[in-house]
Structure formats: structure tokens, C-alpha cells
Amino acid sequence: MKDIYTHRGLKFFGTTVEQGNFAPPLSTEPLEHQMVYTETLQQVIVKATGVDVDALAMARLCHGNTIGVFQTPGIHAVFPMTDGLVTNVSGTALIVTGADCPPVLLHDSKKGVIGLAHSGREGTYKNISFQLMHCMQVRFKCLSEDIHAVIGPGICQNHYQVSSEMARTFFGFGFDISIIQNGYGYLHLKKMIYKQLVELGIMPERILVSSDCTFSAEGIWHSFRRDKQQGILRHNERPRSSAFVAIMS
Ligand SMILES: [Zn+2]
């Protein structure tokens, strides 16, 4: 486990490379794989945190911007086709996975509400942070001025090479977000998310941005780009992922 952020009873951390690969199986994979995956992840998180197994909520990502609300612990909750989770139940662990895509955490310590989302290129383009905050506002009356936010480990701009066409679709985010050099584009995901959080009315001094680049943090965080470059992933193999976990006591 590596800590990302601790504040007023909130713990935010991720599983490291040596703890294994927590990329969720596809829904089309055999039920057995699904169960082994869920149990392995549960064991690791429960062992590390002491959280009750019934209080774990996992988002099975689809690179969209759908948010799930976890309010009834009792059975382990897996949210299919969901990229963000919100809860007001203390002791609950929210889990998203990532391999270069930063997790985004929103914490309202006044109301006791947390939200956690996976904000990769597509989720960021679809502004999943907006959906996360919107869900917290509508369901729990959270106010953006009360929010502390964390943008977790993710790939840095230097290592995030995309096609120049792709980079062009992000030009609207600003010249520092999407640059084109020698025919390739480079995207700054964390800065994009940071701007989105500020636009939501979250105070800049309450936004913490992890300096960890997943590509560079070999041995700590999983990185899809690094694994591809090093030939660790076979053709078309899905990214190996870290699990990012937020718990509010
Ligand atoms: Zn980097």
C-alpha cells in the first residue's frame, strides 16, 4: 500500500505493483474469474485496513462518467459500468482502479461524504469530476466550498504521448494541457482535472495534486504505457491496474 492522502479521518491510498494486478475482469469473463478477483481484492484491502468486507464498494470501470451511490453495506457491492462512487456511510471503502489514469477524490468533512472517480482521458473529456460533485450535491447537499479534493497518481504530460489528432480534440482545454511536438501530441491529464475542479468552485488551496507519475514510479504504481513500452503486456492485453481506495472513518 502507498498512502496518497490523509485528512480528518479520511484515508486515501493505492495498492502497489508487488500487491498484484487489480484490473477488474470483463463482465463477459467466467463467473469464477469474477469471484476470484473480488475475493483477492477484498482480502488485500481488508488485511490492510481492517475494514469489514461488507463495507467495500468497487466500481467496474467503463471509461464513462456514471456515478454510483453506496449507502447499504451488507453485501459486497460491485458497481458495473460505473466510473465513480459516492458514500456517506463511515467505514466504507470506495475502490476504483487505474493504470496511468488518475483517481479523483472529493471529501466533504462537514457532511461526512466522499466521492471517488477514475478520470482517464475519456472520463476527463466527459468531465466525470462534474458528475461526481453533482451527485454529492444532489444526494447529500454538499457544497463545493466545503470540499477538499485530491488528484491521485497518474501519467505525466511528458510520458503521455497521443496522436496529434487526439491532441487537437483537447485544444479547448488550453495550450498548456494539449501540446503538439514533432508530430505527436502530449496531454496533461492532471492539469485538466485541476481546472475542472476549480471550475466547480472548489478552492485551489484545497486541491492536492499527487506528484507521482505512474509511468516513472516503477515498482510502485502500475502503468499501462510503461508495461506496453517494456513489452510486459502482450498485444491487446488489458492494462494491469492499481486499486485506489478511500475510507472515511
Ligand atoms: Zn512521467
- Please report, for the domain that includes residue 182, its CATH number: 3.60.140.10
Average pLDDT of the residues in 109-120: 96
Stronger pLDDT, 138 or 28, i.e. the higher one? 138
Structural domains of the chain, count: 1
Does the pLDDT value for residue 65 go beyond 80? yes
CA of 170 to the centre of ligand 1 (A): 19
Give the pLDDT score at 99: 95
What is the spatial distance between Cα 201 and Cα 145, in angstroms, rounded to a whole number? 6
Report the pLDDT value the prediction gives residue 29, as an integer from 0 to 100: 84
C-alpha 166 – ligand 1 centre gap (Å): 19
For the entire predicted model, the pTM comes to 0.95
pLDDT at 75 (0 to 100) = 67
Please provide residue 149's backbone torsions phi and psi, each rounded to the nearest 5 degrees: -125, 150
The whole-number average pLDDT for the span 73-89 is 87
Is pLDDT at 36 greater than 90 in this prediction? no
In this prediction, residue 111 carries a pLDDT of: 96
Measured from the Cβ of residue 165, the count of other Cβ atoms closer than 10 Å reads: 9
C-alpha 73 – ligand 1 centre gap (Å)? 38
Q: Which residues are close to ligand 1, an ion, with C-beta < 5 A?
A: 156, 159, 213, 215-216
CB 133 within 8 A of CB 115: yes
pLDDT of residue 217: 97
- Please tell me the distance between residue 248's alpha carbon and the centre of ligand 1 in angstroms: 30
Question: Ligand 1 centroid to 147 CA: how many Å?
Answer: 28
143 Cα–ligand 1 center, Å: 33
Ligand 1 centre to CA of 49 (Å) is 29
226 alpha carbon to ligand 1 midpoint, in Å?
10
* 45 CA to centre of ligand 1 in angstroms: 27
Flag whether pLDDT at 16 surpasses 90: yes
Inform me whether the pLDDT recorded for 95 exceeds 80: yes
Q: Name the residue range of residue 200's domain.
A: 2-248
Please state, rounded to an integer, the average pLDDT across all residues of the chain: 93
When pLDDT is cut at 50, 70 and 90, the band that residue 18 belongs to is very high
- What's the CA gap between 14 and 8, in Å, rounded? 18
Q: In the predicted model, what is the mean pLDDT of residues 32-41?
A: 85
β-sheet bridge partners, residue 56: 93
Return the beta strands (E) in 66-102 as ranges: 67-69, 77-79, 84-87, 93-98
What is the 160 CA–ligand 1 centroid distance (Å)?
A: 7
